[in-house]
Structure 1
Amino acid sequence: MSPTDLPAEIGILLYPNVQLAAVYGLTDLFNLANRFATARQSSRSPALRVSHWRGTEASVAVERVFDTAPGTPPGSPTALILPPTFGEPMTSEEAVPLARWLCERHAEGTTLSSVCIGAFLLAETGLLAHRMATTHWVYAELLAQRFPKVRVDTDKLIIDDGDVITAGGLMAWTDLGLKLVDRLLGSTIMLEIARYLLADPPGREQRCYSSFSPRLNHGDEQILKVQHWLHASGAREVTLAAMAERARLEERTFLRRFRKATGLRPTEYCQHLRVGKAREMLEFSNRTVEQIAVAAGYEDTGAFRKVFQRITGLSPGDYRSRFGVSGRT
């Protein structure tokens, strides 16, 4: 079985005091999504693989302890979820082995995601530094104190940074689960699951303009390193030369390998990242379009408007009128 034939795998990490309702609820949600997706395929092979991961007694290794596709070749999950807990956040000392393991998976292309207190373990990896992240509002101040480099924003239920996703309250696992279904199986399956479960789809996914879902599990480590850098920096003030240098590749070779790995040219990839940030600001803030253009990395507002219209099909003003919570343009 070639890598392209393998089902997308969503792993759920079992760590101390994990909320079992979230673990089993997510497992059921993804199994249901797999059922709906395979029903549409002629091969009937699994479209989605769900696994549970737990640290050993020595807390040094992490192993797969549950698998809906046990005969499938082993490998790193496409996405990993850190569910909420009913206990206090793990201390930095307790989190070291798991944080190291999570960093290794992230380096292999796994998208890391957290719900509620799971954000503390995710922050221990250092991958949330200088990024926006959310958690339960009760723990927002503590998260900001323990990890001052993380920009905590509890006004948002989900913050999707492409390679890292954080979700807020205890029950936000349903929103995160639907978001991952949308990313891996498409909006049609996600909406079918939402209707079947009588759950509200995540805000952006129920709209006719899908969010950017980057390819991260392509196996090209040098290109993945550049992608992680772009996501962490918001693709601001980057040049082709800087990207090629970070990948330690000649520019021509970098361009070829980047497009092969991601399906996009570097410029297009950066535009999608910047427009994604701009969409969030248009939806949830009262900033002017000019201010948002600058915040998204565009000094020329006219150029920003053209790129935004091309990617979303709407002007920034029309997008805010349709999807913004404030309605101010």
Structure 2
Amino acid sequence: MKHVSIIVPDNQTTLSSVACIVGAYEMFDLANEYWKENGRQEFIKTELVGVSKKADFHKGLVTVSPHTHIDDTPKTDLIIIPSLIRDYQKAMKGTQLLSDWVSKQYRNGAEIASMCSGAYMLAAAGLLNGKKCSTHWCYADNFRSLFPQVNLQPEKLITDENGIYTNGGGYSFLNLVIYLIEKYYDRPTAIYCSKLFQVEIDRQSQSPFIIFSAQKSHGDEIVMKAQEYIESRLDEKITIEDLSSKFAVGRRNFDRRFIKATGNTPTEYAQRVKIESAKRTLETTRKTINEVMYEVGYSDVKAFREVFRKITGISPLEYKNKYNKEAVV
């Protein structure tokens, strides 16, 4: 029989942590019931594991009692790490015992799945070095600054590499659980759970949900001025040559400084600023795709559509229909 361990962190959590723990447990429990109802023998045991007899969440609003202590779980096959508190330095210090146990289990052959900010525990333990990883898109800049050796891909909803699974933010952890159920049971069981819990199966991207927020705490005054220049001229086509010349910095040096400060090339930054503006317009007005396109400095529909899809994962029209009620009416 395989063993699934859902971690119950102690005092380093939010109500989102509870949702991850309860949601994962309930879905694996349902998968087991479905499996048995179809005449097959139960082969997965799911337990909550922790370092204390009970863990309080949100000032005692919710209490979760783990089934077992990590010291009494010498061997497990899959570890699920829920989201953690948003003070990541504190979270990493406060979960050291769990982190050490997770690392030991991974070395002994266990697989690990992190939900949302649970990826910080894996990264702090060095288990994500050189590997692909996702987390909530709004933590991307902070995560990159702390763990530059990790290949962060915040547009991905789920990553799967060398027995380590990570996922994006919010309640997309449900998509990860469906993915794991298919891995550990089979496709029909995953489809059944997907239908019963009404969770979209095979969802791959969190790009449509990303709200671009410019990184401006870097302290590079030239780059800051360049960012402000780009943002104030959304309807213009600005080249790297224009920017480096305007701020009297060699192109190569300017490009290097911009990437170091913002995590994007100047071209990528301009694209993201423009597309974020286009998204807001599509969400709140009746303007046509062409009108929006011209407002953010594009004159070629194909080019605009390609950049929009690259950043959001869907076309401008799909985005408008998805987020603008008036557009649908």
TM-score, normalisation: structure 2: 0.53
Secondary structure at the aligned position of 2:67 is classed as strand
Indicate conservation of the 8 Å contact 2:134/2:159, yes or no: yes
Tell me the residue number matched to 1:10. 4
Q: Aligned with 2:48: secondary structure?
A: strand
Distance 2:87 2:73 in 1: 33
**1:76-155 maps to which residues of 2 (within 5 A)?**
76-91=75-90, 92-155=92-155
User: Judging changes above 3 Å, is the alpha-carbon distance between structure 1 residues 93 and 84 closer, same or farther for their aligned structure 2 residues?
Assistant: closer
Output the CA distance in 2 between the equivalents of 1:10 and 1:133.
21
Alignment of 1:1-329 (within 5 A): 6=1, 8-15=2-9, 16-18=12-14, 19-41=17-39, 45-56=41-52, 65-66=66-67, 75-91=74-90, 92-203=92-203
Deviation at 1:185, TM superposition (A): 0.4
Alpha carbons of 1:85 and 1:103: their partners in 2 closer, same or farther (altered >3 Å)?
closer
| Alignment deviations for residues 102-122 of structure 1 (CA, whole Å, 9 cap, x no partner) | 111101111011111101011
Sequence identity of aligned pairs in percent?
20
Shift of 1:162: 3.7
Amino acid at match of 1:121: M
Where does structure 2 lack aligned partners over 5 or more consecutive residues?
54-64, 205-312, 316-329
The whole-number CA distance in structure 1 between the counterparts of 2:100 and 2:74 is 17
How many equivalent residue pairs?
Answer: 188
In 2: Cα distance, 1:74 partner to 1:121 partner: 19
Give the Cα–Cα distance (whole angstroms) in 1 for the partners of residues 45 and 74 of structure 2: 12
Task: State how far apart, in whole Å, the 1-side matches of 2:184 and 2:141 are.
Answer: 33
* Preserved CA contact (<8 Å) 2:181 2:189: yes
Taking a change above 3 Å as real, the CA distance of residues 326 and 24 of structure 1, as seen in their structure-2 partners, is closer
Larger radius of gyration: 2
| CA–CA distance in structure 1, aligned partners of residues 101 and 115 of structure 2 | 18
Residues 107, 117 of structure 1: CA spacing in aligned structure 2 closer, same or farther, 3 A cutoff?
same
CA shift, 1:98, in A, is 2.1
Alpha-carbon spacing, 1:9–1:90, altered in 2? closer, same or farther (3 Å): farther
Maintained 8 Å contact 1:90/1:121: no
Query: Does the 8 A contact of 1:38 with 1:47 survive in 2?
Result: no
CA contact (8 A) 1:114 1:166 kept: yes
> CA 1:89 to 1:191, structure 2 compared with 1: closer, same or farther past 3 Å?
same
In the TM superposition, residue 47 of structure 1 has moved relative to its aligned partner by: 2.8
Determine if contact 2:8/2:66 at 8 Å carries over to the other structure.
no
Q: What is the distance in 1 between the residues matched to 2:128 and 2:100? A: 14
Letter in 2 for 1:26: A
**Offset, 1:11:** 1.1
Alignment check: 8 A CA contact 1:95 1:124 kept: no
What is the DSSP-based 3-state SS (H/G/I as helix, E as strand, rest coil) of the residue aligned with 2:66? strand
Cα deviation code 1:213-246 (max 9, x no counterpart): xxxxxxxxxxxxxxxxxxxxxxxxxxxxxxxxxx
Structure 2 residue aligned with 1:294: none
Supply the AA of the counterpart residue of 2:35.
A
Query: Which residue does 1:211 correspond to in 2?
Result: none
Alpha-carbon offset, residue 158 of structure 1? 0.5
